[in-house]
């Protein structure tokens, strides 16, 4: 009897154990995109501990899952997140094939700048960095010029403590070496360099593409240090209406509006940006405005036209008007141009027109691009007048021809005409101030590019450009880009290039505009030439906690014929000649992006180390000179955390810069180098719905500003007492060029966004 009872309990236990085992199931499947496996995808059941990652073939498995209903979540960097409700109700594996959609805002964007044709960023043989408006919204600014402070290796540099004009430095190279494009059109240059990234409505911007290093073989002169291409939105894909407005406690007001309209076969997108800062503030006590006051309006209108076979046809126009001034606190417009109260006042009016038209060939892709800009500047620097006019006309014809699976050709011809006139020795003929001869430059060019795809691992791009400058003759610029991807997680890119730059002396050196010295230009002034090598490495590391993207670039650029201004040979002259020696920009750039799968956290870190210098030969002796206003190291960072329960995002952003060599006067008592400094910002963004978003925060949390003596002798801006040996024994003159950062300290801001999307 005992044996029967024992057998009964054993049978009952085994039955219960078997039933318990049967009440658990599993999930098997594959994660892919367009038939291609996605590795390191994160797969998990929401609110449980069940989770895994896809393997090298995109396969995954979750086992020992109790019966029940679950929310399956799948995510991978570069793809839209996937969610699905599933039911585990038997022991047989639940088989799932999961198709993820590409998320173009991250790793695999379509870019055009590196090759002048649309290509996946990961497949591009040329390294291109892409930044969307969403990235810059982490620290909202009234202009893209200021927004670039979050881009590693790119620094917006202020060049004057009073008028606050500036330029963009890429890898330590000064602003004139950076080309700014709008939709691939080089309509920003020379006189208008500072306005290239000001006043473009954010509602019109699709993305920014940044190429570091020469791109002269495709884009011509000025693309020596790198280029920034502002890609505007297609009206067809834009929201119906957008509004983004914010204000700061410094009484800065910025409004950005965009809306689209359809008329027949045409779609129009209109954008408006208005920025106003009208309250003079002097916190450092030098009786000069800490920040330039501005009143700026910019209008942008783009049209797309629907044509047969989806051929391209678009035209866009932009208008900018700006009134900016800085100076002594008591300055008012009636003092403009006088010598009673010092002020720097700049009136700017600018028109731009650009467009693209695909010619009606059935089997060939031939696109004509054109642009025109008209820039007028009326400036007063104290009692010195600078009035200038610049017009640029650009035409380009591209033939995009894929020969076979190996060869993809791009053939083009370009013609650029530049007209420049001002009231300085730049356009003066002889000694008479009444004699004037505007500068006119014609720059035709042809270029050829062949992109060779050997297989999915190896790609080679060969390019060359030949330009004929109306003053300098033929200039040849070759280019080579090689991409090797041994596997999807590792990508190597080698870039070699030769660039050139024709210098517009008088838009780069304000000292030449005063007329105090005779300007002498060497008879055989040659264009600057550059020889560049970049080695880029990308690495994608998938872990259970998320995906890490690493990007490292070593760069080296060698310059010959660098044009310098000689003030020392003759104190009555400024002599412009090519440097007897050479210049070098070399360094290392590192970027890391971490996207956490288990946390709503994103981290972006960037570091750049560089050495930028000139080697000069003086009386047979070589000497090394460090470039002014160039740091040896810098960094950027953004940390974003989302509290999903409240739909609240916290963005902590910032940058830091190492010491820079500063311009000094003779026997200057100020430091030779700037201090290490960091600008940090925090923002809270509350999303109420798909339409309404409220944001606010604090800029410059550490309240960093330069030293109070950034302006030399602010009490004597017209140098009336400069010869007084008692009060001024060292003969210092008024000088506002000792500048490396903005004088604007900590400030709070609050803004509102509204977006109205078109219904399907």
φ and ψ at residue 752, rounded to 5 degrees: -140, 140
Q: What are the structure tokens assigned to 1, written together?
A: 């009897």
Cβ atoms of 166 and 175 within 8 Å: the answer is yes
The predicted-structure confidence for 39-53, as pLDDT tens digits, reads as follows 778 888 877 878 888
Q: What are the structure tokens assigned to 27, written together?
A: 């999930």
**In terms of pLDDT, which residue wins out, 11 or 50?**
50
Give the contacts of 260 (CB within 8 A, at least 6 positions apart): 235, 238, 239, 240, 241, 267, 268, 269, 270
DSSP E strands, 306-406: 313-327, 343-358, 365-381, 384-402
Confidence of residue 85 (pLDDT cuts 50, 70, 90): confident
The predicted-structure confidence for 552-595, as pLDDT tens digits, reads as follows 999 998 988 887 766 556 544 567 778 888 989 999 999 999 88
Confidence of residue 22 (pLDDT cuts 50, 70, 90): low
Q: What are the structure tokens assigned to 413, written together?
A: 């011809």
Domain 22-99 bears CATH identifier 3.30.230.10 = no
Question: Which burial class, exposed, middle or buried, applies to 17 when counting CB atoms under 10 A from its CB (0-12, 13-18, 19+)?
Answer: exposed
Confidence of residue 104 (pLDDT cuts 50, 70, 90): very low
- The dotted CATH code for 119-228 is 2.170.130.10
Domain with CATH 2.40.170.20 in the chain: 110-116+229-756
User: Distance between CA atoms of 630 and 611, rounded to whole angstroms?
Assistant: 8
Cβ atoms of 751 and 140 within 8 Å: the answer is yes
Cβ atoms of 539 and 490 within 8 Å: the answer is yes
User: Distance between CA atoms of 483 and 214, rounded to whole angstroms?
Assistant: 17
Cβ atoms of 743 and 710 within 8 Å: the answer is yes
pLDDT on residue 566: 62
pLDDT on residue 118: 66
The predicted-structure confidence for 529-556, as pLDDT tens digits, reads as follows 888 899 999 998 876 667 788 999 999 9
Mean pLDDT of 186-201: 69
> Rounded to 5 degrees, what angle do the CA atoms 90, 94, 97 make?
170
Domain 110-116+229-756 bears CATH identifier 3.30.70.940 = no
Q: What is the mean pLDDT of the chain?
A: 85
- Whether residue 14 has pLDDT greater than 80: no
User: Cα dist. 427→188, 303, 349, 374, 575 in Å?
Assistant: 21, 38, 21, 18, 16
Q: What are the structure tokens assigned to 74, written together?
A: 């799948």
User: Distance between CA atoms of 408 and 463, rounded to whole angstroms?
Assistant: 12
Q: Give the torsion through C-alpha atoms of 116, 122, 125, 128, to 10 deg.
A: 60
φ and ψ at residue 56, rounded to 5 degrees: -65, -20
User: Distance between CA atoms of 693 and 688, rounded to whole angstroms?
Assistant: 6
What are the residues facing 295 on neighbouring strands? Answer: 276, 323
Cβ atoms of 465 and 220 within 8 Å: the answer is yes
- Whether residue 509 has pLDDT greater than 60: no
Cβ atoms of 561 and 502 within 8 Å: the answer is no
Q: What one-character-per-residue DSSP string does 186-212 give?
A: EEE-GGGGGGTTSS--GGGEEEEEEEE
User: Distance between CA atoms of 334 and 329, rounded to whole angstroms?
Assistant: 14
The predicted-structure confidence for 665-713, as pLDDT tens digits, reads as follows 888 899 999 999 999 999 999 999 989 999 999 999 999 999 899 999 9
φ and ψ at residue 506, rounded to 5 degrees: -90, 0
Domain with CATH 2.60.40.10 in the chain: 22-99
What are the residues facing 482 on neighbouring strands? Answer: 460, 494
Sheet holding 573-578, edge to edge: 518-521, 573-578, 563-566
For residue 148, the SS3 value is: helix
For residue 106, the SS3 value is: coil
In the block, tokens 């003779």 appear at 666
User: Distance between CA atoms of 519 and 516, rounded to whole angstroms?
Assistant: 9
pLDDT on residue 728: 93
| Cα Rg of the chain, angstroms | 30
Can you count the helices (H) and strands (E) in the chain?
4, 43
The enclosing H or E element of 144 equals: helix 144-147
Q: What are the structure tokens assigned to 394, written together?
A: 């650009």
Confidence of residue 608 (pLDDT cuts 50, 70, 90): very high
Cβ atoms of 159 and 169 within 8 Å: the answer is no
**In terms of pLDDT, which residue wins out, 75 or 685?**
685
Confidence of residue 254 (pLDDT cuts 50, 70, 90): very high
**In terms of pLDDT, which residue wins out, 341 or 523?**
341
User: Cα dist. 563→227, 272, 502, 575, 660 in Å?
Assistant: 21, 39, 10, 10, 22
Domain with CATH 2.170.130.10 in the chain: 119-228
- 250-279 burial: b if 16+ Cβ within 10 Å, else e: bebebbbbbbbeeeeeebbbbbbbbbbbee
Give the contacts of 300 (CB within 8 A, at least 6 positions apart): 200, 201, 204, 232, 270, 271, 272, 273, 316, 317, 318
For residue 589, the SS3 value is: strand
What are the residues facing 366 on neighbouring strands? Answer: 399
- Whether residue 280 has pLDDT greater than 80: yes
């Amino acid at each position: 009897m005992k044996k029967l009872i024992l057998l009964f309990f054993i049978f009952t236990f085994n039955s219960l154990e078997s039933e318990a085992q049967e009440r658990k199931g599993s999930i098997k499947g594959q994660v892919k995109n367009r038939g291609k496996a996605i590795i390191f995808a994160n797969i998990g059941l929401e609110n449980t501990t069940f989770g895994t990652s896809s393997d090298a073939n995109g396969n995954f498995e979750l086992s020992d899952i109790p019966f029940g209903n679950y929310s399956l979540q799948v995510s991978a960097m570069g793809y839209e997140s996937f969610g699905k409700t599933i039911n585990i109700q038997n022991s047989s594996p639940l088989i799932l094939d999961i198709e993820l959609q590409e998320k173009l805002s991250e790793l695999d964007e379509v870019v055009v700048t590196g090759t002048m044709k649309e290509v996946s960023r990961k497949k591009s043989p040329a390294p291109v960095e892409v930044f969307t408006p969403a990235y810059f919204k982490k620290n909202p600014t009234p202009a893209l010029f200021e927004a670039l402070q979050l881009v590693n290796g790119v620094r917006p540099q202020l060049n004057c403590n009073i008028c606050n004009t500036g330029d963009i430095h890429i890898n330590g190279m000064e602003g004139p070496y950076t080309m700014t494009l709008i939709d691939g059109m080089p309509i920003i240059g020379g006189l208008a360099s500072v306005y290239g990234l000001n006043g473009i409505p954010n509602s019109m911007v699709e993305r920014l593409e940044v190429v570091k290093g020469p791109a002269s073989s495709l884009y011509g002169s000025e693309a020596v240090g790198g280029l920034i291409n502002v890609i505007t939105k297609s009206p067809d894909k834009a929201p119906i209406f957008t509004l983004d407005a914010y204000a700061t406690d410094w009484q800065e007001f910025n409004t950005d509006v965009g809306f689209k309209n359809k008329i027949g076969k045409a779609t129009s997108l209109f954008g408006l940006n208005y920025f106003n800062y009208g309250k003079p503030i002097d916190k450092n006590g030098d009786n000069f405005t800490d920040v330039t006051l501005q009143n700026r309006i910019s209008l942008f209108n783009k049209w797309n036209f629907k044509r047969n076979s989806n051929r391209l046809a678009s035209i866009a126009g932009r208008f900018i008007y700006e009134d900016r001034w800085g100076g002594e606190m008591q300055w008012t417009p009636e003092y403009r141009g006088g010598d009673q109260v010092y002020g720097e006042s700049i009136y700017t009016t600018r028109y731009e027109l650009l467009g693209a038209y695909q010619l009606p060939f059935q089997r060939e892709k031939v696109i004509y691009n054109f642009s025109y800009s008209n820039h007028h500047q009326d400036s007063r620097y104290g009692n010195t007048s600078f009035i200038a006019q610049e017009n640029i006309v650009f035409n380009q014809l591209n033939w995009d021809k894929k020969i076979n699976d190996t060869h993809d050709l791009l053939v083009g011809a370009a013609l650029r005409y530049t007209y420049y006139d001002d009231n300085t020795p730049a356009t003066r003929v002889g000694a008479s101030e009444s004699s004037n001869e505007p500068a006119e430059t014609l720059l035709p060019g042809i270029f050829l590019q062949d992109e060779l795809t050997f297989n999915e691992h190896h790609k080679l791009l060969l390019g060359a450009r030949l330009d004929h400058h109306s003053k300098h003759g033929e200039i040849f610029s070759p280019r080579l880009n090689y991409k090797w991807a041994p596997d999807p997680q590792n990508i190597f890119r080698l870039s070699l290039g030769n660039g050139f730059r024709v210098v517009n002396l008088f838009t780069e050196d304000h000292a030449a505009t005063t007329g105090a010295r005779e300007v002498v230009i060497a008879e055989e002034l040659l264009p600057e030439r550059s020889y560049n090598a970049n080695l880029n490495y990308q690495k994608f590391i998938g872990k259970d906690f998320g995906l890490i993207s690493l990007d490292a670039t070593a760069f080296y650029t060698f310059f010959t014929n660098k044009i310098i201004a000689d003030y020392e040979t003759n104190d009555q002259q400024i002599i412009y000649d090519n440097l007897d020696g050479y210049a070098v920009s070399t360094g290392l750039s590192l970027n890391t992006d971490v996207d956490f799968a288990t946390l709503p956290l994103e981290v972006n870190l960037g570091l750049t180390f560089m050495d930028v210098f000139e080697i000069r030969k003086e009386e047979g002796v070589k000497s090394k000179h460090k470039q002014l206003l160039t740091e040896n190291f810098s960094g950027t960072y953004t940390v974003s955390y989302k509290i999903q329960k409240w739909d609240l995002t916290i963005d902590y952003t910032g940058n830091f810069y190492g010491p820079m060599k500063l311009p000094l006067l003779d026997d200057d008592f100020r430091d030779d180098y700037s201090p290490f400094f960091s600008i940090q910002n925090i923002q809270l963004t509350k999303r109420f719905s798909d339409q309404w978003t409220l944001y606010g925060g604090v800029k410059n949390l550490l309240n960093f500003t330069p030293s109070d003596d950034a302006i030399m002798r602010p009490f004597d801006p017209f140098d009336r007492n400069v010869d007084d040996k008692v009060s001024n024994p060292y003969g210092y003159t008024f000088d506002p060029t000792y500048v490396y950062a903005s004088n604007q300290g900590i400030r709070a801001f609050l803004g509102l966004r509204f977006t109205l999307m078109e219904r399907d």
